[in-house]
Amino acid sequence: MEKFALGTNCVLNEMRQRVEDLVEETSRQRLRAAENEQELIRVKRDFESLKSYVNSLTSVRETLLSSEKQFQTIERLFERLVAKTTQLESEKTQKEAEVQKLMEENVRLSALLDKKEAQLLAMNEQCKLNPPAESVSNVGLEILQGKTLLQMYH
């Protein structure tokens, strides 16, 4: 009888540990999702800054074109502008790919988080429905239910 009670206690302890592990994993995933969201905001801000920079360079170029004296300066600025624009377009493409990856990861992590929360809720509900047994028949029923739960999560 004691061995049976110890076995039941072990199963309950394992389930409790599994719930704690899931809670920790959920917290880590939420943190990562928040970090991804911050990175996405930073990338968008950087992109807007780069876009503003390109617009500023374009404005400078147009102003310089109106002055005949500064034609040589305009040519140099234009060459630099083209090079910078090409670089910025390349960076923009790279940033867009990074944003896409972050968004996909965020979607994946959100789905995983939803799944983990559902598992956690199910296990929590199972623990509520099956408090420690007071009789042998209840202990046997709990062990059978515990095995079913363990099979569900493996």
Whole-angstrom distance, CA of residue 53 vs CA of residue 114: 40
Q: How confident is the model at residue 138 (pLDDT cuts 50, 70, 90)?
A: low
DSSP sequence for 13-45? HHHHHHHHHHHHHHHHHHHHHHHHHHHHHHHHH
Q: Which of 10-14, 22-26, 107-111 has the lowest mean pLDDT?
A: 10-14
Stronger pLDDT, 21 or 150, i.e. the higher one: 21
pLDDT in tens, 3-13: 777 788 888 89
Query: How much is the pTM?
Result: 0.33
Q: How confident is the model at residue 151 (pLDDT cuts 50, 70, 90)?
A: low
Report residue 124: phi and psi, to 5°.
-60, -45
- Give the residue extent of every domain in the chain: 2-152
CB 123 within 8 A of CB 149: yes
Whole-angstrom distance, CA of residue 57 vs CA of residue 132: 73
Closest CA to 6 of 98, 133, 101, 104: 133
pLDDT in tens, 75-105: 888 899 899 899 989 999 999 999 999 999 9
**What is the pLDDT averaged over residues 9-38?**
93
Q: What is the mean pLDDT of the chain?
A: 84
In percent, the amount of the chain with pLDDT more than 70 equals: 81
8 Cβ neighbours under 8 A, 6+ residues apart: 132, 133, 139, 142, 143, 146
What is the second-level CATH architecture of the domain 2-152? Answer: Orthogonal Bundle (1.10)
Check whether 154 has a pLDDT greater than 60.
no
Whole-angstrom distance, CA of residue 13 vs CA of residue 142: 13
Check whether 110 has a pLDDT greater than 50.
yes
Tokens for 32, please give them: 């990562």
